[in-house]
Structures are given as structure tokens and as C-alpha cells.
């Protein structure tokens, strides 16, 4: 009997195979490459010919004059993005949920989702024009309010804010859809019961909608905590310039220069490995916390 069941389900299990192979080839095999982080790696000598140098690559990065600043920039930009990237879509999803006309709701949903599909190469060029102090529309509007033009992309006080706001603008539509989906899965009888008990809109939101969304919110927080060291390479690379290295240079752009301008793949891999280890630890801890505090499990 058991064997017959197994035989019957075998084709279904085999369907998993292509996916497994892809994960193996593209996610697990490349992990072997982390050995480069402990080598004085040169392409011509390869993995087996390059000498082992222990932790020297890590020491080299710590000895670079700007590393402290770069790590701080990365943490600051990434954390602000995570916080704003959680808060904004939840609020927008709650607000959209209250919109009764379906065409407005869907229209807004589509419009805010659109920038997600544009690459930072394109948006970089657009933002440079939008934020230009002489011709940009943003400064033109500020000018109408009597505010002097601000050179957003060349001012160390403004540059991180530009990164955070433009990133949230680009991505919040996507998360909003996730939260809206979570809201629709809330059992409508709960609302009916609440109305019977005399709960208004605000009370319904606080005591039914938000708790109903909680599992998804916890999941999104857990996943995003892994990004604490990802401040967004594409974005920074396309918007940064020498004037804002001080506030905008992040680990990824530093790795890029080390790896591709100086061909120091060992050092670049070392920094990449460091980032991965930190992300792994943070995801593990937040997952454990999510289980403990919200009784939430992914598996």
C-alpha cells in the first residue's frame, strides 16, 4: 500500500527537481567561492593556486581610512529605508482599504506600483533632472514658497534623505499590495460583530485590521532585517558623486571599487562574506523573536 502511494506521488516529487537543480547551481555552488575571502586571489592562479592569507583581507578593509564612515553610512541609510519602507506601505494600505470606489482604489494601487518596474539607471537620470537646483521642478516649487534652491544631490545633509525618500517612493507600492492582500483575508464577520458592539472605523482598524495583518507585518520585518547592510547598490551607484562620498558611500559601492577598479577580488569577497554573515545572524534572531513574541512560523 505504502509503496503504491509512493509510486503514485513520485512524478509530483520529480517536478521539484528542476527547481532544486537551479537552486544548487546558482545558490549553493557559488558559495564555494567564499574561499576567495581568505586568499590573495588572482584570476590567473585561480582557487587552487592563490596563496592562503587567513584574515588579512578583513584586516585590510578595517585599515582603510574610510571604513568606519562607510559602515555608518550603510547602517544609517539601510535602517532608515527599512523603517520607512515598513511604515509607509502599512499606512497607505490602511487608507486605501477605506476607499470605497473600486476604480480609485485600483488606479492608485497601479500608479504607486509603477516605479517599482523602473531601474535605477533610468530613475537616476530622472532624479538628477527633477532635483536640479537651476531647472528641477522640486526646486521650482520650493522657490515659489520663497525657499532658496537646494542642491540635493551634492549636499551631504540632504543626500541620505534623497536616497531614503526616493527608495521608499519607488518600492512602497509593492509592499502596499502585500498588505492589502493581508487585509482582504481578514474574516468579514469580525467587522460585523465589531459594528454590533458599537466600534467605529478607528476602533475597527486598531482591533481587527491591524491584528489581522500582524503575521504578514512580522514576516516583512523578519525578511527586511536581513537587509541591514544592504543600502542599495544600484541606487547609490547611479546617484552618488564625489561631493557626497562622505554621506553616501556605502559598503557595496566600496566593494565595487575594490573589486572592479583594483581587481582585489579577495578583499571584495571578504566584505561580501561579512555582509552575508551579519544578515544571516539578524534573520535568525528576528525569526526566533517572531516565533517567541508573535507565535509566527514560516515553516
Partner 1 sequence: MSEPKTLDDVFKIAEAFTKQDPDGNGKPDTYGLAVNNYLYGPITSITGLSNAFHAYPQTWVKDASGKVVYGSTQPEMKKTLAKLQEMYKAGELDREFGVKDGNKVAEDIAANKFGMAFGANWNPYVFLDAVKKNPGMDWMPFPVPSVDGTPTKANVGFSASGYVVVRKGAKHPEAAVKMLNLHEEVVHGSRRNEGQFITVEENGERINTSRLSVVQSGVSDQGVLESLTLLRKAIETEDESLLKDALTETDKYGPTVDYLKTGNMENWAVAHQYFGFVTTMDNYTGDRLLMTAFGGQTPTMTDKWATLDKLEKETFTKIIMGAAPVDEFDTFVADWNKLGGEAILKEINDWLSAQK
Interface ranges with partner 1 (CB under 8 A): 60, 64-66, 125, 128, 132-135, 151, 153-154, 241-243, 245-246, 249, 254, 257-258, 261-264
- CA-nearest of 149, 113, 116, 110 to 132 is 149
Task: Name the DSSP letter for residue 148.
Answer: P
Q: Which helix (H) or strand (E) holds 164?
A: helix 159-184
Cβ distance to partner 1 smaller for residue 89 or 133: 133
What is the smallest separation between the CB atom of 153 and partner 1, expressed in angstroms?
Answer: 5
Distant-in-sequence, close-in-space partners of 266: CB < 8 Å, separation ≥ 6: 36, 37, 38, 39, 40, 41, 50, 53, 57
**C-alpha to C-alpha distance for 37 and 54, rounded to whole angstroms:** 9
What is the smallest separation between the CB atom of 261 and partner 1, expressed in angstroms?
Answer: 5
Cβ distance to partner 1 smaller for residue 128 or 282: 128
Cβ distance to partner 1 smaller for residue 65 or 188: 65
What is the smallest separation between the CB atom of 56 and partner 1, expressed in angstroms?
Answer: 11
Cβ distance to partner 1 smaller for residue 163 or 177: 163
Cβ distance to partner 1 smaller for residue 142 or 221: 142
> Exposure of 84 by Cβ count < 10 A (0-12 exposed, 13-18 middle, 19+ buried)?
middle
What is the smallest separation between the CB atom of 231 and partner 1, expressed in angstroms?
Answer: 17
Set of cell numbers at residue 88? 509607509
What is the smallest separation between the CB atom of 85 and partner 1, expressed in angstroms?
Answer: 25
Q: Is 100 helix (H, G, I), strand (E, B) or coil?
A: coil
**C-alpha to C-alpha distance for 131 and 138, rounded to whole angstroms:** 6
Amino acid at each position: 500500500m505504502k509503496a503504491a502511494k509512493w509510486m503514485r506521488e513520485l512524478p509530483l516529487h520529480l517536478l521539484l527537481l528542476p527547481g532544486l537543480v537551479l537552486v544548487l547551481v546558482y545558490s549553493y555552488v557559488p558559495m564555494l567561492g567564499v574561499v576567495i575571502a581568505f586568499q590573495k586571489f588572482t584570476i590567473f592562479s585561480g582557487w587552487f593556486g592563490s596563496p592562503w592569507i587567513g584574515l588579512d583581507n578583513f584586516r585590510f578593509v578595517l585599515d582603510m581610512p574610510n571604513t568606519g564612515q562607510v559602515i555608518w553610512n550603510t547602517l544609517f541609510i539601510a535602517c532608515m529605508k527599512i523603517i520607512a519602507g515598513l511604515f509607509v506601505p502599512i499606512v497607505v494600505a490602511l487608507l486605501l482599504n477605506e476607499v470605497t470606489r473600486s476604480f480609485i482604489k485600483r488606479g492608485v494601487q497601479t500608479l504607486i506600483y509603477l516605479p517599482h518596474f523602473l531601474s535605477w539607471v533610468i530613475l537616476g537620470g530622472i532624479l538628477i533632472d527633477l532635483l536640479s537646483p537651476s531647472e528641477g521642478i522640486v526646486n521650482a516649487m520650493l522657490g515659489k514658497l520663497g525657499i532658496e534652491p537646494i542642491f540635493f544631490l551634492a549636499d551631504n545633509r540632504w543626500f541620505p534623505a534623497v536616497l531614503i525618500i526616493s527608495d521608499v517612493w519607488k518600492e512602497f507600492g509593492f509592499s502596499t499590495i502585500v498588505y492589502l492582500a493581508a487585509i482582504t483575508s481578514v474574516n468579514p464577520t469580525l467587522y460585523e460583530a465589531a459594528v454590533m458592539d458599537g466600534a467605529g472605523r478607528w476602533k475597527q482598524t486598531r482591533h481587527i485590521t491591524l491584528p489581522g495583518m500582524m503575521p504578514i507585518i512580522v514576516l516583512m520585518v523578519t525578511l527586511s532585517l536581513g537587509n541591514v547592510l544592504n543600502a542599495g547598490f544600484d541606487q547609490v551607484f547611479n546617484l552618488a558623486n564625489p561631493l557626497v562620498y562622505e554621506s553616501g558611500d556605502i559598503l557595496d559601492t566600496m566593494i565595487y571599487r575594490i573589486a572592479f577598479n583594483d581587481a582585489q577580488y579577495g578583499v571584495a569577497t571578504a566584505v561580501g562574506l561579512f555582509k552575508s554573515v551579519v544578515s544571516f545572524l539578524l534573520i535568525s534572531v528576528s525569526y526566533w523573536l517572531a516565533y517567541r513574541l508573535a507565535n509566527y512560523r514560516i515553516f
